Amino acid sequence: MLWILPEGRKTASECPSAYIEPDSMLDKLARRLCKSQKYLKDIDPHDIEFFSYDDRIHPIRMSTPLSDLNTTDSNPLVFRYPLSENIVVTNVRFLRSSIKVRVPHSTGTWYMLVDATRANYEKLQDGRISFYYYYLDEDAEETIVDEILFNHLLRQTSAHKNELIINLSVGIKGKKAYTDWNIEEVLKDVLRQEHRTTITDIPQFNIESEFSNMNPELTENEINRFTANIEANWRIFNKSIINEASARFFIDSFMSSAVSHVNREHSSMILCVEQLLNGTRGYGYVDYLVKCYEIVVLVTEAELEEIHKRIAQNLVQLHTALEQSLGKRKRGEDVHKDGGLCKVYGIVTTGETWRFLRLAGCLTKPEIGLSPEFICNFNEVDQTPAKSILRLITCLLKSQADILKAETEKDRESGEVEQDDTERRLARVRTE
């Protein structure tokens, strides 16, 4: 008994016994199908391809005997055929990069598109990752999750010079790009703060008080270089920040000055720009990311207009960073008890306006905090507000680095003790 499924159809059917002769092979079955099925009457049998139900990428050899096939109604033999002579040109966008995929217009166009998308985007190559496409027209966004919806979209698309051209974006199932989150969703779905729905519901924390006992120990030369850079940028941009690109010149000065200072003591601290950050709830690029001992300690977002939107975005980024820093610890574990790093900070800034965020504790319901606004008036001669913010960022980074250093040394000492114990046990065994 042979079960077959025309690709694109929902249900399989039993192949007529007349099609199955002793020692017949798939090439003969292709000819039989083209002769007997009206929708295949104009199809060349050589254009028919056969696949197993669970593998639509690698065709089965046409010389395969039918007797070698093991099929059921739930695991049928699938056959693919052309739908037109057109080429389907799909412009696929994932985050900030785009690819163009050109494949024949057939019942298998969807599977070829999915395979090409996986091959081109590293983050999607893991077979455990499920993704989808979404099509955006003038009226609404349509989610494309399978071949049926995709083929329906193609039927609505007019050919131009034998090409069917469509534009799709890619999303990862179970996650959203950081830019797609709003504050209510973040507080409720990610941070489990069901009683909070707006920015004003987030508890404020006093970051100045948090680091009041720390001295960043910035040298006079470091401060002078920083203020000279700020003043030069303020001058060449005609004393205004008019867009995100110009804002980054100022933000760069703060971030690079603070990281450079802490890096002198903690050489593992590095500054990353436009870094891809991938977590269980969100994914995407972050504007600035600071790592120490390979752990994210600060995520900064630059924004000139939609500050509230960026705060929501930054909170999900901090959730990802906290997730990564906890590593193998259980998500519900109280990480305070072993003195490990259990907090991560964020910054949302226009270059002139600065707000700090903090996420601490466990992932199931972390503690969140948002600082008041800090305003930099770059017209001030001595740049006092800018220097105050630089000191805060430096203290924040130094505090995180000190904690991580202590934790790393503790782990190293623990490992050495375990190694010594093992060697002593082996020595006893040898003497016995």
pLDDT tens column, 127-177: 777 888 888 765 667 889 889 999 999 999 999 999 999 999 999 988 999
Instruction: Sort 198 into a burial class: Cβ within 10 Å, 0-12 / 13-18 / 19+.
Output: exposed
Is the predicted pLDDT of residue 420 greater than 60, yes or no?
no
- Residue found by looking up tokens 């960026």 in the block: 310
Tokens 């989808």 belong to 132
How much is the pTM? 0.81
Best CATH choice for the domain 3-80 from the list 3.30.1360, 2.40.128, 3.30.530, 3.10.20: 3.10.20
d(CA 99, CA 115): 13
The tokens describing 20, both together, are 């199955």
| Tens-digit pLDDT profile for residues 45-90 | 999 999 999 999 999 999 999 999 999 999 999 999 999 999 999 9
Rounded Cα gap, residues 212 and 425, in angstroms: 49
Nearest to 163 by CA among 108, 209, 100: 100
Six token digits for residue 425: 């046990």
Q: Which helix (H) or strand (E) holds 285?
A: strand 282-292
CATH 3.10.20.90 residue spans of the chain: 84-173
List phi, psi (to 5°) of 128.
-80, -15
CATH number, span 84-173: 3.10.20.90
Residue whose C-alpha is closest to residue 237's, from 304, 298, 307: 304
Q: How far apart are CA 328 and CA 330, in angstroms?
A: 6
DSSP string, 46-75: GG-EEEETTBSSSPPPTT-BGGG----SSS
pLDDT band at residue 408 under the 50/70/90 scheme: confident
Average pLDDT over residues 223-243: 95
